[in-house]
């Protein structure tokens, strides 16, 4: 039990002493520690030693993992709060409005939550927290958002609440006022009688009618009164209700009693094993036999897909799966076929290459975000499918990797499809742009978040050794660094010869061990330099789909190339389960998500553990540069999940391996002059182009409407002028630039690879 | 500075030691404090009536290099403490005169020196070892609190006959410094006067030290201070400390057997938590584990129960302290950012800025690490290594950041009249070994510049003069 320093109940009493009293009396109260929140006045509860957590007035909860009630308390906290850090001995959670809504949406009542808090907290529950819990949970579930035949209604039982909502200036602006149609609802009939000219007058009558209606219905059998809101403003409506006026909207789908939508013939195969945390996550989604929208957070490799599939088999209504790349579409398709009994007629893919009409009654349809949100001209077949998607009422909308999708794309996807329930899946709910909150309104609250360390301890994900390797800048590089522009600085710290040597050393070390290494670089110039110099394949934005497939197959097959260089296009959309080592040489500023996402590439459990570790994650940092600062920031998320980043200032016996590149000063100087001759505008273009390419890749595979010819033409027009080289034409155009050597080298490598694989058809694409 | 009482004794004069060894309590205390092998040797000599031939003694160790080293160290310790003497020709080891009898008799008397204590009535409310340890720890925390936030009210020390105060003691340890002119004012115990002391940088280091080292430093200074006020107080204190150390923790001693001076010292030791007395009028007092720690330094604590750790350091640099003492929030603040102070927990996090500030205020990083390790919670103590490696590593790197660059004074020269003169001067600076940097500009000679180490300036000046 923790807290042994404090006297426990069975301990002998304190000794009375006159002498030490003298000293204690002379002491002042010690000064308050500046900057710290001091809660020393709070009362400790009886038996506080055996209680598992401290609950503070600002909603922070500190949980003791050595407590006998740890498991119970932890489950409770995960349901009602956000995990802040989950380290080994003490963990921190934060109560927020959203987390409490999420808790309430799972059916937890105000008194239950307060009761549990009182039971578990070592400190008496602060009044601030009581108020917060009451505010958040008591109002939850009173107002519902209901989708009915194309239209979206805000519904509630209490006319006073409804009145408040209707009078809200923001909400009323989203209201849709139709000429009353034939409604079964009595209130509408009454409203019709009022026959008002203006909307306001109608409101008054409407409310009056509603009041009348409920008064007549004293028994309160739960008659609902409602008003319609604009479907396209769903996010704003939710935002307004949940955040501003504190009436969180309840969205539940009672799929068992849904008779209007046909069932999909889908069953989970009987031999499917669902892990404990997966079923826990699902139980959060499906408690009390209804499905609720929300997000499930599981690390990569922990079986997110299966969770989505089980959700689909539970709802058993038409299900639309959205992923962020066509590669993922294929993976989802294969997984659906693998785990469930669904037949080919009922599951279809909708991508640039697959345009089958979905089954007319009920189906599972897998597509990409870009396919759905595409705003250009579509081909006839694509348009027909799109019509079908828009027209259908989806039982479940499954959204993969929700954190990477731009908010606008997302909004388009959710407004174009009508779904009764939405499930978002992701590995990391962190975004540097603060857009996470949007997800809350677009999808729903976070339903479950797995504990990485626990999964690791149980062997569900690989045990990763994380290290940050500090590489001294060479004096020449550092001198230039100090006076260079921002863009050049980034190039200089990526190209630091010592970093290059460290990278080379690590690759050799791990290849010799039989590991599979992915080197990540966000900087394309550096990526090319490294890959070509070391004679390893590379994949970046401008690499064609065919070439990608070729290199990935080579890499997976092993033998020739056990290392592959990938730009940020590989962060999410490329699946390489074989890899177990990652070396980052350049990364995107301080993006915590990218760091976690990349780590996820090697999280699939591997067998060959060495000293307890079976995967390795290195980040190479040029010392005394901006990189140091970014790196600390990037690691924050993983560090809070309990990962430890070891700093390596010197790689053992690297100095003795004299055959590493750039050992001599002459070579280093030549490299420096190459770096410095890069023009700043080009570097910026590189960076932009790569950002584009990350998106473009999806667009290309997703732009369903374009004919094949058009698609190529548009790509050539973009042409990535200075970085492509993917087509002979582009190569000629830019041959005046000092880069041919790179491409000759690349072609040579490609040729060799192709010869080996005897696949002339693929080679045609880029030779 | 001596790290323990035993080491301190080694530095005393033969006469002072002879005086000390005439006291049976001291003899027994020294015997207890000795490392096991030295103690064994001493007892063998006692058994041999105080004299043994050097050949016999030389044959004791096993014939291995390690054993020979241990043997040598054990004998060296005894000789340094003047417990044993080797005759000038090196043929015979002899026990210090009188020691043989003192030790022999205390062994034979079974209960040793305590038997000689005045008889006391049976003790009804004898405190337990755990209680005494807690009491000592809490009392000492109060002393540390005085170090960090010196109280305004003066705390007179009885051992100095009330002529000096705890603040004075801390002042001479350089843990406090006087602020303002009021320091000269004689009115004691006046509340409301502006704070006259502030804690120093040394104080912030002091609180991170191991507790036995803190107590020992304080007692050393205490003996110096009392001796200047009341001559003879040092010896009285020393033999009293010895006596306390010779008692088992928790067994009672009678106040009546003490000299007047020792009674005064006792009241100060009560203040520091080295001894415990229930009431001022009580006829008995007890030694706390601190008294034992004093006698033998860190080795002493290993035999006594290890005090419970309360710190938990996580891999995300969060530091949690299970404590209800406000002192620790203040101590932790010197190297970490404190986030929450709760009734029984202090939450903080170690950051680059906090470590940099700590280093700037004179705290070395390994001091912090040792402090964390020493006070690690039992849950952490099960780890190997105790503290997360990555955090320790990072702390050391942060700490070293500030020492990577060194500033040195230099002299800058420009506006040279001709490029030839400039070249000559640069050459001279290089020959003289003071050259640091230069910039040569043939078109604009005035823009050429040279920097040399500051200590070369006089010679450079002379050289420049000679050129004109």
Q: What is the pLDDT of residue A710?
A: 37
CB A209 within 8 A of CB A194: yes
- What mean pLDDT is predicted for residues B9-24? 83
Alpha carbons A746 and A528: distance in angstroms, whole number: 9
Distances (CA, A) of B285 to B139, B205, B269: 16, 32, 11
Containing H/E element for A104? helix A97-105
Residue A404 has pLDDT above 70, yes or no: yes
pLDDT digits (tens, 9 = 90+) for A167-185: 888 888 888 877 655 444 4
E-assigned strand segments in A342-392: 347-350, 364-368
Angle (CA) A249-A250-A255 rounded to 5° is 145
- Chain A nearest-CA distance from B281, in A, is 10
Nearest to B343 among A17, A44, A87 (CB): A44
Is the pLDDT confidence value at A69 over 90?
A: yes
For A126, phi then psi, to 5°, come to -65, 150
Output the pLDDT for position A179. 62
Answer whether the bond into residue A758 is a cis peptide, omega within 30°: no
Residue A682: pLDDT band with limits 50, 70, 90: confident
Confidence grade of residue B227 (pLDDT, cut at 50, 70, 90):
confident
- Which of B3, B30, B15, B35 has the alpha carbon at shortest distance from B235? B15
* A42 closest CB neighbour out of B271, B322, B343: B343
Chain A, chain B: beta-carbon pairs less than 8 Å apart? 187
SS3 for A39-57 is CCCCCECCCHHHCCEEECC
Residues of B in contact with A60 (CB under 8 A): 340
Residue B371, sorted as left (phi over 0), alpha (psi -120 to 50) or beta, turns out to be alpha
Rounded to whole angstroms, how far apart are CA atoms B119 and B115? Answer: 8
With CA atoms as reference, the chain B residue closest to A18 would be B279
Cβ of B345 within 8 Å of Cβ of A647? The answer is no
Alpha carbon of A1: minimum distance to chain B alpha carbons (Å) = 9
Say if B307 is an interface residue toward chain A (CB within 8 Å): no
Q: What angle do CA B330, B336, B337 make, to 5 degrees?
A: 85
Distance in angstroms (rounded) separating the CA atoms of residues B151 and B145: 9
Give the pLDDT of residue B192. 43
CA A255 remoteness from chain centre? 27
pTM: 0.77
Note whether B345 contacts A54, CB cutoff 8 Å.
Answer: yes
Question: What is the average per-residue pLDDT within A403-415?
Answer: 78
Average pLDDT value for residue range A32-59: 87
Q: Does B55 touch chain A (CB under 8 A)?
A: no
pLDDT attached to residue A752: 61
| 3-class DSSP state of A386 | helix
CB-CB under 8 Å, A642 with B134: no
Asked if B329 and A30 come within 8 Å (Cβ–Cβ), the reply is yes
- Residue from A10, A18, A23, A70 to probe the interface with B (highest B Cβ count within 10 Å): A23
For A56, nearest residue in chain B (alpha carbons):
B342
Distance to chain A for B66, nearest Cα, Å: 33
Residue of A4, A5, A86 to mutate, testing the B interface (most B Cβ within 10 Å of its Cβ)? A5
B132 touches chain A (CB under 8 A): yes
Measured between alpha carbons, how far is A384 from A487 in angstroms, rounded to an integer? 46
In chain A, what's the furthest Cα-to-Cα distance? 96
- Which chain B residue lies closest to A17 (C-alpha atoms)? B278
Task: Using an 8 Å CB-CB cutoff, list chain B residues near A15.
Answer: 127, 131-132, 134-135, 276, 278
pLDDT at res. A188: 47
Closest Cα to residue B138, out of A15, A42, A30, A31? A15
Q: How far is CA A247 from CA A344, A475, B367, in A?
A: 44, 61, 54
**DSSP string across A443-503:** T--EEEE--HHHHHHTTSS--EEEEEEEEPPPHHHHHHHHHS-HHHHHHHHHH-HHHHHHH
Q: What is the mean pLDDT of residues A312-328?
A: 89
Of B279, B310, B312, the CB nearest to A90: B312
Q: Which of residues 266-295 of B touch A (CB under 8 A)?
A: 267, 270-271, 273, 276-280
A 10 A CB-CB count for A102 gives 29
Q: What tokens were used for B198?
A: 């502030």
Q: Which residue has the tokens 């420049």?
A: B464
d(CA A433, CA A441): 16
Q: What is the pLDDT of residue A191?
A: 44
Contact in structure between A634 and A595 (CB atoms under 8 Å): yes
Contacts of A443 (CB under 8 A, 6+ apart): A293, A294, A295, A399, A402, A414, A422, A423, A424
Distance CA A220, CA A217 (A): 6
Q: If you write DSSP's letter for every residue of B120-141 in order, what string do you get? A: ----TTPPPHHHHHHHHHHHHH
Rounded CA separation A553/A36 (Å): 55
CB contact under 8 A, A17 and B151: no
The CA distance from B74 to B47, in Å, is 18
Q: Which strands make up the sheet holding A143-148, listed edge to edge?
A: A225-229, A151-156, A143-148, A249-250
Element (H, E) at A318: none
**Count of residues making up chain B:** 468
pLDDT in tens, B72-112: 998 888 888 888 888 888 888 888 877 877 777 777 665 54
What's the gap in Å between the CA of B160 and the closest CA on chain A?
16
Interchain CB distance below 8 Å, A18 and B280: yes
B344 touches chain A (CB under 8 A): yes
For residue A51, what pLDDT is reported?
A: 94
Residue of B294, B323, B325, B312 whose CA lies nearest to B218: B294
Q: Give chain B positions within 8 Å (CB) of A50.
A: none
Kindly determine whether residue B330 and residue A33, on different chains, have CB atoms separated by under 8 Å: yes
Strands (DSSP E) contained in A275-431 are: 291-292, 294-297, 319-323, 347-350, 364-368, 393-394, 396-399, 418-419, 422-426
Closest by Cβ to B139, choosing from A2, A20, A40: A20
Asked if B237 is an interface residue toward chain A (Cβ–Cβ < 8 A), one would say no
Closest residue to A15, CB basis, from B127, B166, B388: B127
Q: Rg for chain A (alpha carbons), in Å?
A: 30
**Weakest mean pLDDT among B54-58, B241-245, B284-288:** B241-245
Give the torsion sign (CA, B279, B281, B286, B289): positive
pLDDT exceeds cutoff 90 at A312: yes
In this structure, are residues A415 and A400 in contact, taking their beta carbons and an 8 Å threshold?
A: no
Among the residue ranges A565-574, A725-734, B54-63, B337-346, the one predicted with the least confidence is A725-734
Q: Which residue of chain B comes nearest to A643, CA vs CA?
A: B315
**Do the Cβ atoms of A701 and A352 come closer than 8 Å?**
yes
Percent of chain B residues past pLDDT 90, beyond the cut: 16
Sign of CA dihedral A467, A472, A477, A482: positive
pLDDT tens per residue across span B424-437? 999 999 998 899 98
Q: Which residue has the tokens 């939450």?
A: B347
ipTM of the complex: 0.76
Q: Please answer yes or no on whether A35 and B310 come within 8 Å at the CB atom.
A: no
Higher pLDDT, A421 or A246: A421
Confidence of residue A692 (pLDDT cuts 50, 70, 90): low
d(CA A352, CA A356): 11
Handedness of CA B288, B292, B293, B295 (dihedral sign): positive
Q: What percent of chain A has pLDDT over 90?
A: 18
- B309's enclosing H/E stretch is none
Question: Which one of B276, B342, B379 has the shortest CB-CB distance to A2?
Answer: B379
B105 burial level (CB within 10 Å; 0-12, 13-18, 19+): middle
pLDDT of A755: 57
């Amino acid at each position: 039990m923790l807290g042994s320093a404090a006297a426990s109940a069975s301990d002998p009493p304190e000794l009375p002493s006159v002498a030490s009293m003298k000293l204690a009396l002379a002491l002042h109260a010690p000064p308050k520690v500046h900057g710290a929140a001091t809660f020393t006045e709070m009362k400790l509860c009886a038996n506080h030693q055996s209680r598992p957590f401290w609950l503070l007035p600002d909603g922070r909860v500190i949980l003791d993992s050595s407590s006998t009630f740890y498991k119970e308390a932890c489950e409770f906290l995960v349901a009602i709060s956000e995990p802040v850090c989950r380290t080994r001995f003490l963990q921190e959670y934060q109560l927020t409005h959203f987390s409490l809504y999420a808790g309430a949406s799972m059916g937890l009542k105000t008194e239950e939550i307060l009761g549990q808090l009182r039971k578990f907290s070592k400190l008496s529950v602060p009044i601030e927290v009581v108020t917060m819990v009451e505010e958040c949970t008591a109002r939850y579930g009173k107002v519902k958002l209901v989708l009915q035949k194309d239209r979206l209604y805000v519904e509630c039982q209490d006319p006073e609440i409804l009145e408040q909502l209707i009078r809200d200036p923001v909400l009323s602006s989203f209201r849709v006022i139709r000429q009353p149609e034939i409604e079964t609802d009595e209130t509408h009939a009454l409203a019709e009688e009022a026959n008002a000219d203006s909307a306001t007058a109608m409101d008054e009558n409407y409310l009056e009618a509603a009041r009348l209606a409920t008064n007549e219905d004293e028994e309160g059998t739960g008659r609902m009164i409602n008003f319609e809101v604009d479907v396209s403003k769903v996010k704003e409506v939710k935002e307004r209700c949940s955040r501003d006026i504190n009436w969180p909207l309840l969205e539940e789908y009672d799929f068992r009693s849904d008779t209007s939508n046909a069932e999909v013939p889908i069953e989970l195969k009987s031999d499917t094993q669902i892990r404990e945390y997966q079923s826990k996550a699902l139980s959060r989604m499906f408690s009390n036999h209804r499905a609720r929208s929300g997000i499930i957070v599981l690390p990569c490799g922990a079986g997110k897909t299966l969770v989505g599939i089980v959700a689909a088999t539970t709802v058993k209504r038409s299900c639309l799966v959205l992923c962020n790349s066509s590669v993922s579409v294929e993976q989802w398709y294969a997984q659906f076929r693998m785990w469930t009994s669904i037949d080919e007629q009922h599951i279809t893919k909708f991508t640039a290459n697959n345009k089958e009409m979905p089954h007319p009654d009920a189906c599972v349809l897998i597509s990409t975000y870009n396919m759905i949100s595409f705003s250009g001209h579509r081909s006839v077949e694509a348009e027909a499918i799109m019509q079908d998607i828009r027209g259908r009422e989806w039982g479940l909308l499954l959204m993969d990797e929700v954190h990477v999708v731009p908010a606008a794309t997302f909004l388009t996807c959710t407004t174009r499809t009508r779904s009764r329930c939405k499930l978002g899946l992701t590995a990391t709910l962190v975004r540097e742009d603060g857009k996470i909150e949007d997800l809350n309104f677009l999808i729903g609250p976070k339903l479950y978040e797995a504990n990485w360390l626990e999964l690791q301890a149980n062997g569900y994900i690989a045990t990763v050794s994380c290290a940050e390797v500090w590489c001294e800048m060479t004096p020449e590089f550092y001198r230039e660094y100090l006076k260079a522009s921002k863009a050049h600085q980034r190039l200089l710290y990526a190209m630091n010869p010592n970093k290059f040597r460290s990278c080379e050393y690590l690759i050799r070390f791990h290849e010799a061990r039989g590991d599979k290494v992915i080197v990540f670089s966000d900087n394309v110039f550096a990526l090319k330099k490294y890959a070509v110099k070391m004679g390893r394949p590379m994949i970046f934005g401008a690499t064609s789909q065919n070439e990608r497939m070729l290199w990935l197959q080579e890499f997976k097959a092993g033998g020739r190339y056990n290392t592959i260089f990938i730009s940020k296009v590989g962060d999410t959309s490329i699946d390489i389960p074989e890899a177990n080592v990652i070396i980052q040489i350049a990364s995107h500023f301080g993006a915590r998500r990218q760091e976690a996402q990349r780590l996820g590439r090697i999280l699939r459990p591997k067998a060959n553990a060495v000293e307890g570790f079976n995967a390795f994650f290195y980040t190479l940092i040029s010392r005394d540069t901006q990189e140091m600062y970014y790196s600390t920031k990037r690691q924050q998320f993983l560090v809070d999940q309990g990962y430890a980043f070891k700093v390596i200032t010197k790689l053992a016996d690297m100095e003795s391996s004299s055959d590493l590149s750039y050992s001599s000063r002459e070579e280093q100087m030549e490299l420096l002059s190459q770096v410095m001759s890069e023009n700043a505008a080009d570097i910026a273009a590189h960076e932009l182009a790569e950002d584009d390419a990350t998106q473009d890749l999806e667009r290309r595979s997703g732009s369903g409407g374009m004919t094949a010819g058009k698609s190529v033409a548009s790509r050539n027009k973009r042409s990535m002028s200075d970085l492509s080289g993917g087509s002979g034409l582009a190569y000629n155009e830019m041959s005046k630039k000092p880069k041919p050597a790179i491409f000759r080298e690349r072609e040579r490598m490609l040729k060799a690879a192709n010869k080996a694989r005897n696949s002339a058809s693929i080679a045609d694409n880029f030779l | 500075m001596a790290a323990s009482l035993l080491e301190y004794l080694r530095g005393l004069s033969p006469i002072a030691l002879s005086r000390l060894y005439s006291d049976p309590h001291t003899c027994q205390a020294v015997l207890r404090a000795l490392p096991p092998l030295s103690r064994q040797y001493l007892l063998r000599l006692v058994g041999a009536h105080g004299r043994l031939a050097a050949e016999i003694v030389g044959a004791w160790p096993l014939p291995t290099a390690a054993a020979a080293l241990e043997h040598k160290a054990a004998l060296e310790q005894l000789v340094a403490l003047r417990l044993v003497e080797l005759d000038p020709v090196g043929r015979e080891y002899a026990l210090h005169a009188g020691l043989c009898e003192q030790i022999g008799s205390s062994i034979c008397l079974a209960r040793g020196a305590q038997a000689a204590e005045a008889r006391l009535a049976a003790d009804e409310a004898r405190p337990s070892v755990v209680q005494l340890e807690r009491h000592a720890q809490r009392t000492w925390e109060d002393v540390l609190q005085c170090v960090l936030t010196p109280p305004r009210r003066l705390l007179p020390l009885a051992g100095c006959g009330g002529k000096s105060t705890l603040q004075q003691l801390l002042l001479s340890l350089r843990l406090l410094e006087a602020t303002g002119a009021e320091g000269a004012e004689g009115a004691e115990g006046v509340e409301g006067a502006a704070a006259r002391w502030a804690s120093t940088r040394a104080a912030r280091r002091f609180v991170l030290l191991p507790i036995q080292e803190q107590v020992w430093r304080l007692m050393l200074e205490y003996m110096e201070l009392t001796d200047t006020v009341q001559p003879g107080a040092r010896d009285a204190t020393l033999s009293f400390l010895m006596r306390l150390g010779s008692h088992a923790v928790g067994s009672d001693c009678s106040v009546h057997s003490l000299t007047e001076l020792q009674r005064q010292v006792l009241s100060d030791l009560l203040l520091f938590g080295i001894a415990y007395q229930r009431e001022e009028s009580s006829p008995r007092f007890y030694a706390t584990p601190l008294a034992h720690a004093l006698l033998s330094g860190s080795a002493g604590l290993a035999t006594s129960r290890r005090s419970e750790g309360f710190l938990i350091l996580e891999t995300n640099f969060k530091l949690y302290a299970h404590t209800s003492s406000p002192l620790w929030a203040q101590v932790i603040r010197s190297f970490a950012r404190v986030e929450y102070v709760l009734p029984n927990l202090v939450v903080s996090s170690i950051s680059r800025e906090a470590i940099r500030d700590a280093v700037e205020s004179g705290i070395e990083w390994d001091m912090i690490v040792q402090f964390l390790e020493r006070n690690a919670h039992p849950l952490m103590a099960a780890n190997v290594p105790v503290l997360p490696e990555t955090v320790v590593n990072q702390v050391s790197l942060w700490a070293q950041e500030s020492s990577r660059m060194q500033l040195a004074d230099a002299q800058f020269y420009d506006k040279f009249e001709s490029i030839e003169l400039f070249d000559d001067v640069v050459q001279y600076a290089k020959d003289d070994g003071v050259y640091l940097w230069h910039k040569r500009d043939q078109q604009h000679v005035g823009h050429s510049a040279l920097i040399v180490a500051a200590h070369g300036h006089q010679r450079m000046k002379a050289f420049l003069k000679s050129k004109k």
